[in-house]
Amino acid sequence: MTRRHFSLALAAATAPTSKTPLCGFSKHFQWLPLPEAAKLAASIGYDGFDLTLRKGGHIEPARVTGDLPKAVEQVKAAGIAVPMVTTDIVDPQSPHAETVIKTLSQLSIKRYRWGGFRYDYAKPIPPQLEDAHRRSKDLAALNKQYGVCAMYHTHSGRNQLGASMWDIWYVLRGLDHSAVGVNLDIGHATVEGGLGGWINTTLLLAPITRGIAVKDFYWNKTARGWSPRWCGLGEGMVDFTQFLKMLKQAGFEGPVQVHMEYEELGAAHTGKSASTIPQDEFVRLCRRDLDNFRRFQREAGF
């Protein structure tokens, strides 16, 4: 990393943003080179970019020391910041983990998304929770050394540690939550607890939540049975207004990531390298979701 790259990237990462910056997820922009993706995200109205720093993402972990400073500089040139990145890190033994964390620290990017613990249903659950706790403790120590925080992303579905929500709270018990916390995905939380469970989840995890991801869904019956059908914000089952009221009460200040994992977005919803819908339609959908989320913010006083 040259001194010039370091200085410019540091300025980019620490550029002023709103108290709770709304981040575009660069996964949905991977059909564009990063400079063009950042310009498009800025024109849509996002405050920041959650960069995919993982295999197949905008930045490959093996190239982080050279490519991340340049990437942050490019995002800054578009007029938005990089308050966080999404990584492949599961624990300190993940490939390139310490190099990624060290580079984030050098660029003053204080938060990154981590996760990926999975249950083996052929084995008892309690020992697996204790193993995840040990690995999280080790990651917390590494993060604390470099002054960054890992945010465990909560997915829904089978085998996913964190889908039950209480289990990731149990795994992170007693740890330094400025070093390891939660990235609470309210869409996945509602899938797992649609009636009242998501409320319990939010109350339980909000004190250790350092970032949130927002997406919406409704249940759809297919030939294979019932499954979540992801949709635009406000078109599904998620009660964003109540969720944001609860976060406000908990004093949440972390970045917000707007996820768009529905089919109308075309190939971009899965992070493909080519778009299958016109760019103006992509922009319309992004702005619709962003406008709706800001409406929910106003309703919640958030």
Domain ranges of the chain: 3-300
Residue 282 has pLDDT above 80, yes or no: yes
- Exposure string for 229-262, b = 16+ CB within 10 A, e = fewer: bbbbbbbbbbebbebbbbbeeeebebbbbbbbbb
- The rounded distance, in Å, linking the Cα atoms of 236 and 229 is 9
Homologous superfamily (CATH) of 3-300 is: Divalent-metal-dependent TIM barrel enzymes (3.20.20.150)
Tokens of 123: 């084995």
What is the rounded average pLDDT of the residues 219-232?
A: 94
H/E run at residue 14: none
Q: How confident is the model at residue 18 (pLDDT cuts 50, 70, 90)?
A: low
More confident residue, 2 or 78: 78
What is the rounded average pLDDT of the residues 145-168?
A: 97
Q: What is the pLDDT of residue 273?
A: 87
- The rounded distance, in Å, linking the Cα atoms of 296 and 240 is 6
Tokens of 261: 């994992």
Side-chain-side CA neighbours of 121 within 13 Å: the count stands at 3
- The rounded distance, in Å, linking the Cα atoms of 9 and 107 is 6
For the question of whether the overall pTM of this predicted structure is more than 0.85, the answer is yes
Residue 203 has pLDDT above 90, yes or no: yes
Cα–Cα distance list, 82 to 13, 77, 249 (Å): 5, 11, 26
- The rounded distance, in Å, linking the Cα atoms of 180 and 175 is 7
What is the percent of the chain where pLDDT is above 90?
Answer: 90
The conformational region for residue 234 under phi > 0 = left, psi -120 to 50 = alpha, else beta, is left
Residue 6 has pLDDT above 70, yes or no: no
The per-residue pLDDT for range 91-142, each reduced to its tens digit, is: 999 999 999 999 999 999 999 999 999 999 999 999 999 999 999 999 999 9
> Is the Cβ–Cβ distance between 199 and 238 less than 8 Å?
no
Tokens of 189: 């939380």
- The rounded distance, in Å, linking the Cα atoms of 260 and 235 is 12
